[in-house]
Amino acid sequence: MDSWARLTDQQLVTRARSGRPDAYGELVRRYQTDVFNVIYRLTGEQQEALDLAQETFVRSYHALDTFDITRPFGPWIKRIATNLTFNTLQRRRVTTVTLTRTSAATDDTTEWELPDRSTEPETIYLTNERDTLVRNAILELPPHYRAVIELRHFQELSYEEIAEALDITLSDVKSHLFRARRHLRQRLEERP
């Protein structure tokens, strides 16, 4: 419904709490891509990310009464997605994903853009190669480092929003980001 699009997240939550599931549907529409991206970058597997994203929205719908209406909805839903993903990875005893295992998964979900015809083919190849190396290096990080990299660099959250989304302290966010970047730099320097 078009009128839902004009409402704030907090107004939609209030309406959903009062028995309007279509208001929650608008929240799902607004955040489905962000939630999927957070989960996908943590798992590296498209189908698992789709399943966990759906579970995230089901769980958050049932937990709407716990949402603090004075806070932003985005970090709250991303925290649910991140925690659900971490719990799933721990249950499966998957802490990292190997380079060879992730190559097929990342290629399946890569969004291809039309190349700029003025760019040399070699430059395009090298740029794509670098992007693939970075994506694979991120997938090799422990899940808590992947989460801060995803939320900071791909979701563009502030340090405070990351702390809220992951339910960790601001100093932990900074520490995790520092260590994650250091690991990424080392992994990328090791590659030819």
**92 pLDDT above the threshold of 90:** no
Task: Give me the pLDDT at residue 185, please.
Answer: 85
Tell me the pTM: 0.59
Q: Give Rg (Cα) of the chain.
A: 18
- Find the domain containing 154 and state its range: 2-190
- Across all residues in the chain, what is the average pLDDT? 79
**132 pLDDT above the threshold of 90:** no
CATH code, domain carrying 158: 1.10.1740.10
- In the chain, the number of structural domains is 1
Tell me which of 30-39, 90-99, 121-130, 140-149 is least confident: 90-99
Task: Give me the pLDDT at residue 5, please.
Answer: 81
